[in-house]
Every structure is written in C-alpha cells, then in structure tokens.
Amino acid sequence: MDAKELWNEVKHQMAGEPLTLGWKISATIRNSTHGLLFILARYKFALKMMANRQNLKVLDLGCNDGLGDLMIWQDCQCEQLVGVDFDEDAIRWANDNLKQEGLSFVQGDFMGMDVFSGQGDCVISLDVIEHIPVEQEAEYFQTVCLNLKDDGFAVIGTPNVTMVPYSSPWNKIAHINNYDQKRLYDAMSRYFENVFIFGMNDEVLHTGMYPMACYIMALGCGKKKRAGGKHL
C-alpha cells in the first residue's frame, strides 16, 4: 500500500458520524480558534483535580453545550456527570450529540437545584459567576454546596476583572459581576474550609502575579459548617 491507501484504511476505521457543532463552539471558533483551547484548558484543570479518584459524581453548573463535560467524561472515572444550563439550544444540542449512559444534560435555572442531595464529589462552574447578579451570589454558592459531600470540592473559574477593558462587546454586556483573585477568595472562603487560587494566561496555569492573569481559577475544599454543625 502507498501512503494514500494506508491513510484511507485508517480513516475508515477512525471515522464515525460527523458531528455538527453547537452554536457556542461554532461562535468561539469563528471569533478565535484559540478560545476553544482556553475553554478546554479550564476543564482540564478541573479534570486534574479528579485524578486517581473513582466513581465520582460531578455536577457542572452552567455547562452550555457540554463539550468540556464530554472531555471530563472521557478521561475521568465518573459514575455520573450532569451538566445544567438554562440555554435551551445548548442543552438540546448536548443531549442530541453528547448524552450517553452516565452523562446527561438538564435545561433549567440551576439556582437552588438539588441534583445530588449533598452526595456530589465535585461541582464545576466555569465562566458563570460573572453572569450572576451580586445579590444572588450567596444563593449561587449555596447551590454549589447543596450538591457536595462534606469532603467534596468545587472548581470555580472566571475572567479576571483586570481584563474588562479588553473584553469583547458582548462580554462587556453579559459580565455584570466581575472578580479579582482576592474577591473570589473571600467569597469562597465563606463556604469552604480551604480555598486555593490560581491564575491562567491562555492555557497556562500559575500562582502569583494575579493582576496579570487573564483568568482566575479557585479550588474550594471541604464545606464549612455553621454553629451547631449544619453546613452553610
């Protein structure tokens, strides 16, 4: 066989049904192909936090079209992974193209939603909190904690407030509640015993030099309890 014949043989073995991309992925690629890499890098960070653990229950609050959840599902030992988003088109696409046993998507407002009844291992919420009004911040974090075990953890990510002047016109409209590393740390520290802050520039993760970071990642571990032993 020559190179073309070998390639065609491999191609037929690899190929499945073509995947029509959802609106968010399509828009991201049209505007900046790099943007898709950055989104997946954030999910890869969450995936790394799940390493060497099995039978995990994972909830993604604000999953949009679920592409990041598919990556986690493919590489993590999940018993159940549920993505939630209020965008009907995004969830319809996710259920039509990505849904499989143990990986599902729910359309609706996640505020106050009890998916795992305090038995989840991890809650992911990336590029979401900046869309939440300040007066609903407490409800947002309470929803995160509602779905976690006592020793569960949350991965929260948001663009750094220092990037606002360089944001796209649509992000300047939609990002109504912006954070820097201190504000995100303080907010999460009200709900978690231990909080670790990381910066991201493109797909590179680091600690320190937070004002220069384009994106802030926070890892919250261990739910805090009120006086009397009940969780916040």
User: What integer pLDDT is reported at residue 74 of this predicted model?
Assistant: 92
Answer yes or no: is 15 within a domain.
no
- pLDDT bin (cut points 50, 70, 90) of residue 228 is very low
- 62, part of any domain: yes
User: Residue 173: left (phi > 0), alpha (psi -120 to 50), or beta?
Assistant: alpha
List b or e across 201-224, with b for residues whose CB sees 16 or more CB atoms inside 10 angstroms: eeeebeeeebeebebbbbbbbbbe
231 belongs to a structural domain:
no
- How far is residue 218's CA from residue 198's CA, in Å, rounded to a whole number? 6
Is residue 212 a part of any domain in this protein? yes
Q: Is the pLDDT of residue 73 over 60?
A: yes
What digits encode the pLDDT tens for the residues 157-214?
Answer: 999 999 999 888 888 899 999 999 999 999 999 999 999 999 999 899 998 888 899 9
- The CATH number assigned to the domain holding 39 equals 3.40.50.150
pLDDT above 50: residue 46: yes
Q: Establish if 123 belongs to a structural domain.
A: yes
- pLDDT class for 22, splitting at 50, 70, 90? confident
Considering the domain boundaries, does residue 51 fall inside one? yes
Bridge partners of 179, per DSSP, are 160
- Domain count of the chain? 1
Examine the pLDDT at 14 and tell me if it is beyond 90.
Answer: no
User: Range of 178's domain?
Assistant: 24-223
pTM: 0.91
Residue 227 scores a pLDDT above 50? no
DSSP for 163-198 reads: GGGGS-HHHHHH--S-B-HHHHHHHHHTTEEEEEEE
Residue length, the chain? 232
Instruction: Tell me what the mean pLDDT of segment 99-123 comes to.
Output: 95
Task: Please state, rounded to an integer, the average pLDDT across all residues of the chain.
Answer: 92
90-103 pLDDT, tens digit per residue, is: 999 999 999 999 99
Q: In the block, which residue shows the tokens 């937070």?
A: 210
CB 82 within 8 Å of CB 56: no
7 is a domain residue = no
Residue 32 has pLDDT above 90, yes or no: no
Could you tell me whether strands 120-126 and 204-206 are parallel, antiparallel, or unpaired per DSSP bridges?
Answer: unpaired
- The residue with greater pLDDT, 109 or 24, is 109
Structural contact between residues 48 and 124, judged by C-beta atoms closer than 8 angstroms: no
Q: What is the pLDDT of residues 60-70, one digit of tens each?
A: 999 999 999 99
pLDDT band per the 50, 70, 90 thresholds, residue 12: confident
Residue 3 within a domain? no
